Amino acid sequence: MPDLTRNAVDVLPEGRLAEQLKLDRPLRVKLGIDPTTADIHLGHTVVLTKLREFQDAGHKVVLIIGDFTARVGDPTGRAASRPVPSAAEIEANATTYQEQAYKILDPAQTEVRRNGEWLDMNLADLLKLMGSTTVARLLERDDFQKRMAANAPIAGHELLYPLLQGYDSVAIDADIELGGTDQKFNLLFGRDVQSSYGKPQQSILTMPILVGTDGVQKMSKSLGNYIGVTDPPADMFGKLMSIPDEAMDEYFRLLLGAEGRPDGPPNLAKRELGRRIVERFHGDGSGTEAEAAFDKVFVQHSVPDDIPVVELADYTDGEDGLVHLPRLIAGAFGLSSSEARRLISQGGVKLSAERLTEPLDVPAEALAERILQVGKRRFARLQNSD
């Protein structure tokens, strides 16, 4: 049987997991994810891969989509309260999370639950839950200690978060709960909540937090240093080629289960990393194709063959026939207009290999059949069907 604690940082309490694994039944292994953004990135897959190892060993994974806790907001690592997504955003993200999680988990061995099933409770039940701990215990977490030291506010609903996450473990009879190292307080707190409801206490297992493409901060969509599991193969390969050499050991170990990066030149090791991860999420042969597309752009300095076509008519002002470039860039690449303007001002936009500066309003005829490039990896062919 594989070592289910491999790469784990904390396995607590000591000896508890070993005892559980001797039980003559599958264990219920819990992971909760709040759908606050639309995409799962490679950082999420570190814990998801560990869940898959438990599945392969015959245990039952319970994936909790935090449609209710997303409305509260996990205070972990935050210096201020999280913004609350709309109900529509939470619902859309919840569906996306489940679909993307199945790129790693076995659907047949995964029980998916939404914690709105049990957390949308009446006041009496909520008061009972709140009575299971003390304010002093809730304020032990480092995030709150730092805010108090800085005289920063702590919203009342944030104190509820670990109680709600802990009640998830009560509701689904969790034997084990997994999470990143930043979730250690919440996971241990879940044991307290289980105990207060007369339930056996779960063991916890924390996994390392993957650094982003900058090699410094944790991978996060809000920081722009993430690699999404649904990123196109060429984009995924290109982002992996951009990580610092020092981060490669961690990527090989946490994402591919290797002991570390292979011997040899760093560039070749990074290419192997890129090929293998692309193939993991996009299938056999996709890694080699993505590498070839990368070389065409960055080694041969050519434009990729398969780039989207953008109809200029969709962005042309009917009266004067001008195209407002920030609006065009935003629409073509899914950016905000302000971000598009920033990229232009920073020299990050090219038209047919010429760096774009001014003017920002250009006749459609002057743009037709030209290649729009944003950053290093995003291209579009401009077409004027009129």
Q: How confident is the model at residue 302 (pLDDT cuts 50, 70, 90)?
A: low
Q: Phi and psi of 78, rounded to 5°? A: -110, 140
46, 207 in Cβ contact below 8 A? yes
Residue 235 has pLDDT above 70, yes or no: yes
- pLDDT score of 80: 55
Confidence band for 198, pLDDT divided at 50, 70 and 90: very high
* CATH no. of 10-207: 3.40.50.620
- The pLDDT confidence band at residue 78, using thresholds 50, 70 and 90, is low
**Cα 2 to chain centroid, rounded:** 26
**Short-list 284, 245, 283, 238, CA closest to 267:** 245
Mean pLDDT of 335-357: 79
Which range among 241-255, 257-271, 278-292, 305-319 shows the weakest confidence by mean pLDDT? 305-319
Q: Is the pLDDT of residue 166 over 80?
A: yes
8 Å CB contact between 178 and 29: yes
Q: Where are the domains of the chain?
A: 10-207, 233-298, 309-383
In this prediction, residue 142 has a pLDDT band, given cuts at 50, 70 and 90, of confident
pLDDT tens digits, one per residue of 103-136: 999 999 999 999 999 999 999 999 999 998 888 8
Residue 267 scores a pLDDT above 70 = yes
The most confident of 66-70, 74-78, 277-281, 370-374, by mean pLDDT: 277-281
SS (H, E, C) the chain: CCCCCCCCCEEECCCHHHHHHCCCCCCEEEEEECCCCCCCEHHHHHHHHHHHHHHHCCCEEEEEECCCHHHCCCCCCCCCCCCCCCHHHHHHHHHHHHHHHCCCCCHHHEEEEECHHHHCCCHHHHHHHHCCCCHHHHCCCHHHHHHHHCCCCCCHHHHHHHHHHHHHHHHCCCCEEEEEHHHHHHHHHHHHHHHHCCCCCCEEEEECCCECCCCCCECCCCCCCCCECCCCHHHHHHHHHCCCHHHHHHHHHHHHCCCCCCCCCHHHHHHHHHHHHHHHHHCCCHHHHHHHHHHHHHCCCCCCCCCCEEEHHHHECCCCCEEEHHHHHHHHHCCCHHHHHHHHHCCCEEECCEECCCCCEEEHHHHCCCEEEECCCEEEEEECCC
Question: Any idea which architecture 309-383 has in CATH?
Answer: Roll (3.10)
Q: What is the mean pLDDT of residues 211-235?
A: 88
Task: State the pLDDT confidence band at 149, using cuts at 50, 70 and 90.
Answer: confident
What percentage of the chain has pLDDT greater than the value 70? 92
Burial of 319 (C-beta count, 10 Å sphere; 0-12/13-18/19+): exposed
Is it the case that residue 37 has pLDDT exceeding 80?
no
User: Using alpha carbons only, what angle is made at residue 307 by residues 222 and 303, rounded to the nearest 5 degrees?
Assistant: 100
| Residue-level pLDDT at 313 | 82
What pLDDT score was predicted for residue 273? 94
pLDDT at residue 81 in the model: 58
pTM beyond 0.85: no
Q: What is the mean pLDDT of residues 324-340?
A: 84
Phi/psi class of residue 178: alpha, beta or left (left: φ > 0; alpha: ψ in -120 to 50)?
beta
Q: Is residue 385 very low, low, confident or very high in pLDDT (cuts 50, 70, 90)?
A: low
- Paired tokens of 332: 């073509």
Residue 180 φ then ψ, to 5°: -75, 170
For residue 168, name the pLDDT band (cuts at 50, 70, 90).
very high
Check if the beta carbon of residue 179 is closer than 8 Å to that of residue 204: yes
Residue 317: pLDDT band (50, 70, 90) is: confident
Rounded distance between C-alpha atoms, residue 55 and residue 85, angstroms: 32
Q: What is the mean pLDDT of residues 307-325?
A: 81
Q: What is the mean pLDDT of the chain?
A: 87
- Of the candidates 23, 66, 22, 54, the residue with the CA atom closest to the CA atom of residue 171: 66
